[in-house]
Amino acid sequence: MASLVAYDDSDSDTESETAGSGSAPGQANDASGETRPPGQVFASGVTKEEAEHRGNSPCEDRGEHRLPLAWLWKSDPGSCPSQRLQWPAREPDNAFPTNEPPRPSLWMNRAPAGHVPLAAACLKPVKPAWDSFRSSPHAQNKTEITARNPSSFQKKRGEDCVVPYTPKRLRHLQVPSPEAGGGKDVDPQGTPVGCAPAPLCVAPTVSELIQPYLNSQYRETKVPRKVLFHLRGHRGPVNGIQWCPVLSRSHMLLSSSMDKTFKVWNAVDSGRCLQTYALHSEAVRAARWSPCGQRILSGGFDFALHLTDLETGTQVFSGQSDFRITTLKFYPKDHSIFLCGGFSSEIKAWDIRTGKVVRGYKATIQQTLDILFLHEGSEFLSSTDASTRDSADRTIIAWDFRTSAKISNQIFHERYTCPSLALHPREPVFLAQTNGNYLALFSAVWPYRMSRRRRYEGHKVEGYAVGCECSPCGDLLVTGSADGRILMFSFRTASRACMLQGHTQACLGTTYHPVLPSVLGTCSWGGDIKIWH
């Protein structure tokens, strides 16, 4: 080892003198020419007794003796030996030579015990204080766990490095929007999953804006022009919205979202969120008001069904389906029964009183997109997503509710799926939103023929579940569009009555207020809701 050090420090004059002296093997000479026995020679050529007498360390003596290796390294870092050939030094007690607290690393929440600042590492190699690290109980437990099962620790580190895949339609949600959080309508998150939300405080009096229209007959629908409220609160796409069916409480608006929640808003008076319900562990695809206006039925991609009472905040009914839920509808004749459809070839009828499935409607389909009741509930239609070669006979199916028999499956003969259905309030017809970028008009009585004369087109669907609806008077039809527009058509002439550039992303839901003649609610894939008047 002495020869290696002498070779690395061969540039100094002191080394040449040492190498040229004729000392015996196993002995060394210092700068004064005295012979020292082996084991007592220090870096500066001072014996141990002399160092103790002076009271200084050998490295601090820079008098007449030769310059030590550590001082050469500090004065000229380029001529220092490698770490493998460094002069042996005693390990320091503290890991950090300075009194400043360690700064956290860029990749870790806190600096580890053996972390050395860059400046200290360049001046003096410092080893981590492993003794203090090993003495901690947390480190001992971690070492024992790693020694017992080393593969589990490596697997855990590998799982932390995996970045989950984000669908293309949801990538924009990771980028902070300039409008997000800027509105006054942003409300805090709801209750945790499984906890009962707080009771909804509903004012006993009717809204001042709705009161004048309750006792009068509904007049002609007016085309809205301005935004009354811009509701921001959902952190995911809003799948659908619905006004409360009870006219005296129709100021409340229900919204379901892919952020695993559904909300109740005061969308007429204040635009505030009244309550947030986080009862599902996955996206809430469907949520419906009960006809009494006091309960909300919700279903989502977590296969769960919940009927929540607004006044008490408790769950009146909870069920578990065997498929992901996409649509829910109450039976008009008996409000204790509802239909449930989703990613399955069967539509099921549930009874809230018993909590069981009472009837099933099975067909050779893959998914149910929407359900629409006809003739006060004796029949209903289902739109399906059948992606087989000959799927024209399964796009829209008419069912008999009591017998579960198919009435007709030869309704829509064009090979487009229909994401939503809407019933006209006065005429015996219904509308079907198609992926062919047009609204088709059908007769609501058997044989459910499609009208060839009237077709409402000009919007885009592009695979989104774009909804459509008729105004309460029946004179206007409204639909969203994949490019964010809102289009209104004249029911009689199929001409475009109005077009609004409502949202920056796809407009999924549109619904007219049941009482106010010029109030319209829309929701989008971007997670915002707008109230127009």
- CA 173/CA 505 separation, integer angstroms: 12
Task: Give the three-state DSSP class for 176.
Answer: coil
Give the count of alpha carbons within 13 A of 264, CB side only: 27
pLDDT attached to residue 57: 44
Task: Give the three-state DSSP class for 434.
Answer: strand
Single out the residue of 451, 353, 360, 458 nearest to residue 411, CA to CA.
451
Calculate the alpha carbon distances from 129 to 96, 136, 337, 448 in Å.
9, 12, 69, 82
Single out the residue of 457, 385, 456, 468 nearest to residue 421, CA to CA.
468
Burial class from Cβ neighbours inside 10 Å (0-12, 13-18, 19+) for residue 192 reads exposed
- CA 238/CA 241 separation, integer angstroms: 8
Buried b (16+ CB within 10 A) or exposed e, 264-292: bbbbbeebebbbbbbbbeebbbbbbbbee
Name every residue whose Cβ is closer than 8 Å to that of residue 328 and which is 6 or more positions away in sequence.
Answer: 286, 287, 288, 297, 298, 299, 338, 339, 340, 341, 371
pTM: 0.65
Single out the residue of 385, 381, 373 nearest to residue 324, CA to CA.
385
| Length of the chain (residues) | 533
Calculate the alpha carbon distances from 167 to 113, 172, 173, 439, 524 in Å.
40, 10, 10, 28, 17
pLDDT attached to residue 364: 82
Single out the residue of 313, 177, 184 nearest to residue 235, CA to CA.
177
**Contact between residue 464 and residue 508 where contact means Cβ atoms under 8 Å apart:** yes
**Contact between residue 301 and residue 257 where contact means Cβ atoms under 8 Å apart:** no
Task: Give the three-state DSSP class for 263.
Answer: strand
* Angle, helices 150-161/137-148, rounded to nearest 10 degrees: 100
- CA 115/CA 104 separation, integer angstroms: 9
**Contact between residue 278 and residue 193 where contact means Cβ atoms under 8 Å apart:** yes
- Which residue carries 């799926």 as its tokens? 417
pLDDT attached to residue 390: 56
- CA 296/CA 309 separation, integer angstroms: 7
pLDDT attached to residue 65: 47
> Looking at residue 249, what DSSP letter applies?
G
Task: Give the three-state DSSP class for 108.
Answer: coil
**Contact between residue 347 and residue 370 where contact means Cβ atoms under 8 Å apart:** no
**Contact between residue 292 and residue 276 where contact means Cβ atoms under 8 Å apart:** no
pLDDT attached to residue 163: 57
Task: Give the three-state DSSP class for 78.
Answer: helix
**Contact between residue 379 and residue 399 where contact means Cβ atoms under 8 Å apart:** yes
**Contact between residue 24 and residue 59 where contact means Cβ atoms under 8 Å apart:** no
**Omega before residue 447 within 30° of 0, cis:** yes
Per-residue pLDDT of the chain (533 residues), as tens digits, is 444 444 444 444 444 444 444 444 444 444 444 444 444 444 444 444 554 444 444 444 444 445 444 444 444 444 444 444 444 445 444 444 445 454 444 334 444 444 444 444 444 444 444 444 444 444 444 444 444 454 444 444 444 445 566 666 565 555 444 333 333 444 444 555 556 666 776 655 788 899 988 888 877 888 998 999 999 999 999 999 999 999 999 999 999 999 999 999 999 999 999 999 999 999 999 999 999 999 999 999 999 999 999 988 889 999 999 999 999 999 999 999 999 999 999 999 999 999 999 999 998 888 999 999 998 889 999 998 865 555 556 789 999 999 999 999 889 988 889 999 999 999 999 999 999 999 999 999 999 999 988 999 999 999 899 999 999 999 999 999 999 999 999 999 999 999 999 899 999 999 999 999 889 999 999 999 999 99
Q: How many CB atoms lie within 10 A of CB 230?
A: 14
pLDDT attached to residue 90: 52
